[in-house]
Amino acid sequence: MNDEYKITFIRGATTATGNSVERIEEAVVELIDELIARNNLIKTNLLSITFTATKDLDACFPASIARKFNGLDSVAFLDCQQMYVSNDVDFCIRVMAQVLLPPNHPVKHPYLRGAAKLRTDRC
């Protein structure tokens, strides 16, 4: 690893507007776009992304969408089902991305759409 970078974790979340491939794709693409843009990421510095989805999202795997995303074919992806908690945010997709960033680079965690209420301190 280059000494100019350190491994950093970025969290984030969004919500889909429904349980269909199209709605999940819109949410995942927007979330990945924001994660990259807000943190000025070089796509090759994205090492891995773990997605979780609430149990009401089962039309497709978020990772299958991200895997097709432009320039992210070398990223390691994993999907998991989010633990069920009553009154959780519906249609919620969460991410934890492992990235390489320069030391002291400010990390901006994207919490979008209905997931913004999960972390109002980061929106």
pLDDT digits (tens, 9 = 90+) for 46-64: 999 999 999 999 999 999 9
Please write the tens of the pLDDT for every residue from 73-92: 899 999 999 999 999 999 99
Q: What is the per-residue pLDDT for 122?
A: 63
Q: What is the per-residue pLDDT for 2?
A: 56
Average pLDDT, integer, range 81-104:
96
Average pLDDT, integer, range 94-100:
98
Does the pLDDT value for residue 112 go beyond 60?
Answer: yes
The chain-wide mean pLDDT, for the chain, equals 94
Sketch the domain layout of the chain as residue ranges. 6-122
HEC profile of the chain: CCCCCEEEEEEEEEECCCCCHHHHHHHHHHHHHHHHHHCCCCHHHEEEEEEEECCCCCCCCHHHHHHHCCCCCCCEEEEEECCCCCCCCCCEEEEEEEEEECCCCCCCCCECHHHHHHCHHHC
CA distances to 24, 104, 108 from 66, rounded to whole Å, are: 11, 27, 20
Q: What is the per-residue pLDDT for 123?
A: 61
HSE-CB for 105 with a 13 A CA cutoff: 19
- Residue 111 pairs in a beta bridge with 13
Report residue 14 as tokens. Answer: 């969004």
The fold of 6-122 is 60s Ribosomal Protein L30; Chain: A; (3.30.1330)
